[in-house]
Structure 1
Amino acid sequence: MAEPVTIMSALQQEIQSVLDELVDRGAEAGLQVAVYHHGALVADAVAGVADARTGRRVTSQTLFFSFSTGKAMTSMIAHLLVGRGVIGYDTPLVDVWPEFGAHGKEKATLRHVLTHSVGVPAMPRCIGPADLCDWPRVCSAIAGAEPQWRPGTETGYHSFTYGFVVGEVARRATGKTMRQLLREWITVPLGIDGELYFGVPSTELPRLARLEDAAPPPVTAPDGAILAPWEMQPSAALGNSPQILSADIPSVGTFTARGIAAMNAAALNGQLINTPQLEGLTTVAFEGTDRVFGNHVRLGLGCPLGRLGAPPTEPSTAFGWVGGGGSYVYADPAGSVSFAMTKTRLTPHFDTAQRLADVTAAGTVEDRHRDGLPGG
């Protein structure tokens, strides 16, 4: 695991000021932010407490369970499967996972999975939160599920099913679990072992931040809702569960902001994926109305496109994931920026993420102007 660093950049100071202000006025309890710019760590800021019960402070090494932002790691492994020749984007999943072809899913491909168009957005109703730790049970249920639409024809957010489908394809094709592939293909080669996890080792659990709910109104599934309430609404109880934290559940993830920002920075500079694959991440692979939430979406291969809260005039080469409760990671090859923010308080909005992403975008553009670099 990387040693602590001291950063004195203007962006570091501005981000630190925002974090301190948010904690001081009680809007947030504990946060981490990391930013890479042109492959260099230019901001590594923390504020507040990691555990309100003990007063333990957040550090750059504190691990955070961060819900769907973990899909950034899952998507990267999917691209590495293709880059290493294990499977193709348009390979039928049944070539490696024959059972998945049940009920008309036989033409589903990895491309459909990466664009949330494979047609199984919700866990089968026989699966609840406690079952997420039972990999064979979950994968068997998903394989046997009837799709909501013909694969590739529509899109809808695959909240928890996404990671299990990618993960089972990876396991069938390589013989290895997602936690193994994450370590062997990403964290060890990049020198960030101990900073990204699908399933946290018991020895590392004391490093975790403790999540807290911001007391949003209870979520009840409306008539006709595709996702169950537990799939729609993150909860501190789920994110603090030792069983969940220790399980390989690659639709969510545990990491430091610095670790996941480093992974995306490595993708931008060619260490992890090649140029055509980066173009696949940054160009529209599916655009339409999300069947789950009803909003218009633009998806690259593996991530939504566009920076959170960006004005319409801003180039949309950015890709990333928000996580239930307010975490956020994104990367943008246009500015060579990789950003990550994790936090303890689960809010029903992304106000903090958007504010810090705006600060980062403005600060890195100023750096480019000051340094005389193009594209700012």
Structure 2
Amino acid sequence: MSNVAIAHDLADLPTGVGGYATPEFGPLVRTFARFMGGVPGAGGALTVQLRGVPLVDIQIGESAPGTAWDADTGAIVFSATKGIAATVIHRLADRGLIDYDTPVAYYWPEFAANGKERITVRHLLSHRAGLSGLPDIAAGLDDILDHRLMEQRLAAAKPDHLRGTPTYHALTYGWLLAGLARAVTGRGMAELFRTEVAEPLGTTGIHLGRPPAGSVTTAATMHGGRLAFVGTTYISLVLGRAYSFPGALGAASRALFLPGLEDFLEGDTPPILDTELPAGNGVCTATGLATLYGALANGGMHNGRRFLSPQTIKTMRHIETYSLDHALFYIPMLWHMGYHSLPIPGARAGFGHIGLGGSFGWADPNTGLSVGFTHNRLSLTALYTDQLASAWVLPLAVRGARSTRRTAQTPARRRAA
């Protein structure tokens, strides 16, 4: 806990909640306890920082049966990983190694194959490359686990008819950014997560895949039925036939479904942890995510040091397309380059990325607020409510931040009087 955080009065936490929070965030803490507690084997964490100062850092439940969730517990954050991968690309662009409006093939010559020579970095970052489909590049789980193979196949692939249209690249997004970054730096994304994000920010809570031996971060065991229902004969048959359907169902099934992919998440040490999937297998603590987005929420600064330039932050804040996303059933994702906004209270002015199950990282540059929310639940019964966690976390976090500012201003007025 920072000295600044200690200087504040701390709230009494509900039973079962560990960590600390200032009183202004009491409604958020109580709601967190109500939504995330009481499920044996499951747990989660929430961190809120304001201008880089941690005001909420709480945990609840278990990271595995019999093991309490603590501040160093990391969860698989699924698509929230995309925001970290995009930040790597922005760091490279910030140093002049990448230009957003330059064709990807300029840096990655193999990518020019099959008519992709005009697809730009901006198209890649905003899900408009026309390369969202899995069936054309992978036959099954073994292919998906070979990240270098996936980079090569995407370089050789032909874009589909949705090129130029916002179409969520659910898994291919990460390999596309990894191939671009590898072409520029010669290094893979797992290493770049460490050297371009975690180390410059001084956080131990951001990893791609399983945290390495000796790391203080431990990966929580996933809780719930996971994606087993997708592997049932009927569901697999329907999704497989949906590949050729027009509209959202076809786009979603091509982007999200491949026979056998549900085995990705099975077991206490699922295969997803043992590959580089920059679109979906980040293992992060809530504090790690809040720290990253804290730099993005505060003009690119972290602890008095420059992480990204003001111009790059301005570019990241810009919404690239207001068009409805074709692979997400026409949800208005408000895509930035690597992040999205949300048309809900507390989120309109910010940006970040939400993952499957609801874990997310978020930045609000208007207030300097950043949020990291992680958990290990993934079951069909709770998926809908968990996925919408941002709808209560963000408004309550913004309300707490406003209360904090009012509390800080009152003594200042008294001194002035």
Q: Does residue 318 of structure 1 match 2:347?
A: no
Residue in 2 that maps onto 1:81: 92
* Corresponding letter in the other structure for 1:335: T
* Corresponding letter in the other structure for 1:319: F
CA contact (8 A) 2:73 2:285 kept: yes
Q: State which of 340, 346, 365 in structure 2 corresponds to 1:304.
A: 340
CA contact (8 A) 2:171 2:256 kept: no
Q: Does residue 337 of structure 1 match 2:372?
A: no
Residue in 1 that maps onto 2:395: 358
Q: State which of 140, 144, 151 in structure 2 corresponds to 1:139.
A: 151
Secondary structure, counterpart of 1:354 in structure 2: helix
Q: State which of 181, 185, 190 in structure 2 corresponds to 1:179.
A: 190
| Deviation of 1:50 (Å) | 0.5
* Corresponding letter in the other structure for 1:199: G
* Corresponding letter in the other structure for 2:369: V
| Deviation of 1:11 (Å) | 4.3
Secondary structure, counterpart of 1:49 in structure 2: strand
Structure 1 segment 1-376 matched on structure 2, within 5 A: 7-11=20-24, 13-26=26-39, 29-52=42-65, 55-123=66-134, 124-149=136-161, 151=163, 153-192=164-203, 194-200=204-210, 201-204=212-215, 207-213=218-224, 218-219=229-230, 220=235, 221=239, 223=242, 224=245, 225=250, 226-229=254-257, 237=265, 240-252=268-280, 253-269=282-298, 270-271=300-301, 272-295=307-330, 296-306=332-342, 310-311=344-345, 316-346=348-378, 347-349=382-384, 350-372=387-409
Deviations 1:146-191 (A, max 9, x none): 212364x211000111111111111111111112222122211221
| Deviation of 1:290 (Å) | 1.2
* Corresponding letter in the other structure for 1:135: H
Deviations 1:195-236 (A, max 9, x none): 1111321444982111123578934326222224259x9788
| Deviation of 1:261 (Å) | 0.8
CA contact (8 A) 2:226 2:265 kept: no
Secondary structure, counterpart of 1:210 in structure 2: coil
Task: From the superposition, tell whether residues 160 and 366 of structure 1 become closer, same or farther in structure 2 (CA, over 3 Å).
Answer: same
Query: What is the TM-score normalised by the length of structure 1?
Result: 0.87
| Deviation of 1:125 (Å) | 4.9
| Deviation of 1:282 (Å) | 1.8
| Deviation of 1:240 (Å) | 5.0
Deviations 1:331-353 (A, max 9, x none): 11011111111111114222333
Task: From the superposition, tell whether residues 285 and 172 of structure 1 become closer, same or farther in structure 2 (CA, over 3 Å).
Answer: same
CA contact (8 A) 2:33 2:60 kept: yes
Q: Greater CA deviation, 68-77 or 200-209?
A: 200-209
CA contact (8 A) 2:264 2:271 kept: no
Deviations 1:2-54 (A, max 9, x none): 999864412454443333323445499301101111111111000001102xx
Q: Greater CA deviation, 153-162 or 209-218?
A: 209-218
2-structure distance, mates of 1:352, 1:315: 12
* Corresponding letter in the other structure for 2:155: A
2-structure distance, mates of 1:334, 1:235: 42
Report the count of equivalent residues: 365
Secondary structure, counterpart of 1:286 in structure 2: coil
2-structure distance, mates of 1:249, 1:240: 18
Structure with max Cα Rg = 2
2-structure distance, mates of 1:372, 1:82: 39
| Deviation of 1:358 (Å) | 2.3
Q: Structure 2: which 5+ runs fail to align? A: 7-18, 302-306, 411-417
CA contact (8 A) 1:239 1:245 kept: no
CA contact (8 A) 1:127 1:138 kept: no
> What is the RMSD of the two structures over their aligned residues, measured on CA atoms?
3.0
2-structure distance, mates of 1:202, 1:246: 13
Task: From the superposition, tell whether residues 218 and 64 of structure 1 become closer, same or farther in structure 2 (CA, over 3 Å).
Answer: same
2-structure distance, mates of 1:315, 1:195: 24
CA contact (8 A) 1:12 1:44 kept: no
Task: From the superposition, tell whether residues 142 and 107 of structure 1 become closer, same or farther in structure 2 (CA, over 3 Å).
Answer: same
Which aligned runs of 4 or more in structure 1 are off by greater than 3 angstroms? 1-8, 11-16, 23-28, 202-206, 214-220, 233-236, 238-243
Q: Structure 1: which 5+ runs fail to align? A: none
| Deviation of 1:139 (Å) | 1.1
Secondary structure, counterpart of 1:108 in structure 2: coil
Query: What is the TM-score normalised by the length of structure 2?
Result: 0.79
